[in-house]
A = this chain, B = another copy of it.
């Protein structure tokens, strides 16, 4: 199909498609004449993926490009590894600002302690590890009392680990298309995050109301 049809079917304006082509987020079409290229279903599929990552997860173009590069470059044959690669590419690598080495070192030590307490089989370059260090530095900077000891995080780790048993199957169908598994994993990770955070906010309201209800009952019994 031509650019105009690709734009119409994907719902993405041509100027935006050209931008994605320049940034390498979308592979070039097949050149059919000077200044004319042909696009196919794979372009449509990828545009839908970009829309999801931009509109729902609000991911930066650079992060999406990194995730695609990891997805396109992967040639392994162990299906669950796909998920790890996808999540890894979505994480921002650690970039320690000048003069903050001490704060990052403290957070790195806390993460190491926490992972030992949880007994998880992860290592320094596992997806999420840099994100955890960075977010702990943020917590310590602005709310020094919130997490005084990494042991406080153990219940959170146990909770998300229990959920991981539900989220990630024991095995994938060996006949499944690896690209489809990868798309499902990348999207599943980023689309589900706002669901989890929204549920947490609702759970807080229920918790607040239940403490107030308890107090009211206690008062009325006096």
Contact = CB atoms under 8 A, between A and B. Distances in A.
Interface of A: 48-49, 51-52, 55-56, 78, 80-81, 83-84, 87, 91, 115, 118, 120-122, 126-129, 131-132, 134-136, 138-139, 141-143, 146-147, 153, 155-157, 159-171, 184, 187-189, 191-215
A77 B189 CA distance: 40
Contacts of A156: 163, 195-196, 199
Nearest to A161: B203
B205 A56 contact: no
A142 B200 contact: no
Nearest to A191: B139
A124 to B, nearest CB: 12
A161 B207 contact: yes
Contact of A207 (B48, B164, B184, B194): B164
Nearest to A204: B164
A77 to B, nearest CB: 12
29 contacts: A51-B142, A78-B212, A87-B204, A120-B205, A121-B205, A127-B202, A127-B204, A128-B197, A128-B198, A128-B200, A128-B205, A129-B202, A131-B194, A131-B198, A132-B202, A135-B191, A135-B194, A136-B195, A142-B187, A146-B188, A147-B195, A153-B195, A156-B195, A160-B199, A164-B204, A167-B207, A171-B211, A196-B197, A196-B200
A81 B202 contact: no
A55 B78 CA distance: 38
Contact of A202 (B78, B120, B168, B210): B120
A205 B143 contact: no
Given A187-B143, A196-B196, A210-B121, A138 B170 contact: no
A155 B166 contact: yes
A204 B163 CA distance: 9
A169 B210 CA distance: 11
